[in-house]
Amino acid sequence: MDDMVKDGRADGMSVEDCESSCEASSVWKRQLGGLGWGLGGSLVFLCLVVILDPVPFPLAVSQDQEMTVQTSLQSYTDNRNVFVFGPTVDLHKQLTDRTGLDLKLDVDVVSSASVSCSTCHKERQSWPRSEIVASVDHQVGETKLGLSYYFSREKDLSSDALTASISRDFLQGNSTVALRYTGSWDRIKPHGWREDGDKLLPDNKLLPKDDDGEEIYQDQLIAPGQTLPVDLPDLKVHTAALAFTQVLGRRTVAQVNYEFSYLSGYQQDPYHLLPIAGLDYFESHPDIRKRNAVAFRLKQAIGSFTTLDVGYRYYTDDWEIQSHTANLGVSRTFMEERLLLEVAYRFYTQTEASFYRPSYDSPKSFRTLDDRLGAFDAHYVRLGLALKHLGKGDTFLSSLGFRLNLSYYMSGASIIGNLSSGRRIDGSSDSLRAATMSVQLGYAF
């Protein structure tokens, strides 16, 4: 679920004085509800641990077969009325001593579309979102080749991606160079719109009508001529990454990587409206975006059971956004390395895009009030617990592992930024605020 709070795609947060205590209460109720699902599932699983521990399980996968299956339950909730809950299944099969196969299936129940379904539904709606990732890797001497395919479908968005990678070890495995390329294609079909010739208009089920049957646009504010083409341009993304990993000592490993992305196509939110001079206009972003990022990561063992993980990432693009990300994590093993505890913190800050404004006096060629393109800071905290070999001997539990992740994310306007508010087509506020929580429960055998 971390992809939902990814740097540069994070939701923002501003606490405005006019927000009611009722709204704040409902936000926390949803967050605690998501936490309850995860903890409730954990309790059920632990009950099964107690029941099944004495049961022999001769069909458990042996190490010689080198096959693992992981399943997990995940929940995500935030204060923008989005709730996600669903299972994930990961399968790894070592086909030969040099070739491995991975398959991941993720089916979520989402309370709203990825870009907001408030356009067509006043009340909370739910529908599934499915993701499949299939990958294969093959070792040739000191070189490892990889190929993977990503498939995702939901109500108003379909996405496909193909990744090819190659890595090679040097100096007796102390140095590794890796190169990766990913090409992705996103196709969006706005939900809550109807076709009118070669254009899309807001669905008349949403908009009220006057006595003559003519549609009344929300607050009479949508500017004339504000429509979308029936076939929006696909978003195509090409990404190339180069990484170098070096063992610096018995207890220290460092990594440096560089990544470049080229984006072309439709990149704005089709549901987002900007109030300009008394009328509402759609967002307008450049069709091309070039991204550059460089990152450094260092892992340091402290004693025999503790590991320190620190990292820094600098990002810039031709929309004039610059960001800095700092990571700090500590992990420690217990019970003869059967139990792992992790604590991680991430700080993120970015500047605003060149065409971002807190308000517009007149329509511009490029315009946005999207808080993800404004200046903001973000904080992310994660707590993790992993337990492997739950039982002893040839029992079912001896081949099982358990993992629980709790994370909390919060962002707000940067000191150099401005709090702003846009408007969605149904008239709802889109102010800069977010508070998210995710829970993950899984086991492996």
The pLDDT, as a whole number, for residue 143 is: 95
169: tokens are 């070890």
The pLDDT, as a whole number, for residue 432 is: 37
CB within 8 A of 419, min separation 6: which ones? 14, 16, 358, 413, 431, 432
Helix (H, G, I), strand (E, B) or coil at 322: strand
The pLDDT, as a whole number, for residue 180 is: 98
Q: What are phi and psi of 43, to 5 degrees?
A: -65, -45
Over the chain (445 residues), the average pLDDT of each successive run of 10 is: 41 31 40 50 50 42 60 74 79 89 85 46 64 95 96 90 96 94 92 67 51 48 61 92 96 97 91 78 91 97 95 97 97 90 95 89 86 88 83 68 83 48 43 50 55
How many structural domains comprise the chain?
A: 1
Determine, yes or no, domain membership for 158: yes
The pLDDT, as a whole number, for residue 419 is: 36
The pLDDT, as a whole number, for residue 103 is: 93
Distances (CA, A) of 300 to 177, 327, 340: 20, 14, 16
CATH number, domain containing residue 84: 2.40.160.40
Residue type, 88: T
Element (H, E) at 16: none
The pLDDT, as a whole number, for residue 213 is: 53
The pLDDT, as a whole number, for residue 294 is: 98
The pLDDT, as a whole number, for residue 47 is: 54
pTM comes to 0.78
The pLDDT, as a whole number, for residue 253 is: 97
The pLDDT, as a whole number, for residue 440 is: 58
Q: How far apart are CA 102 and CA 86, in angstroms?
A: 20
Q: How far apart are CA 362 and CA 366, in angstroms?
A: 11
Determine, yes or no, domain membership for 415: yes
The pLDDT, as a whole number, for residue 422 is: 45
Helix (H, G, I), strand (E, B) or coil at 354: coil
Where in the sequence is the domain holding 118, given as residue range(s)? Answer: 2-440
The pLDDT, as a whole number, for residue 9 is: 38
Residue type, 224: P
The pLDDT, as a whole number, for residue 348 is: 94
Answer whether 380's CB lies under 8 Å from 345's CB.
Answer: yes
The pLDDT, as a whole number, for residue 286 is: 94
Determine, yes or no, domain membership for 445: no
With b for 16 or more beta-carbon neighbours within 10 A and e for fewer, the 357-393 pattern comes to beebeeeeeebbbbbbbbbbbbebebebebbbebbee
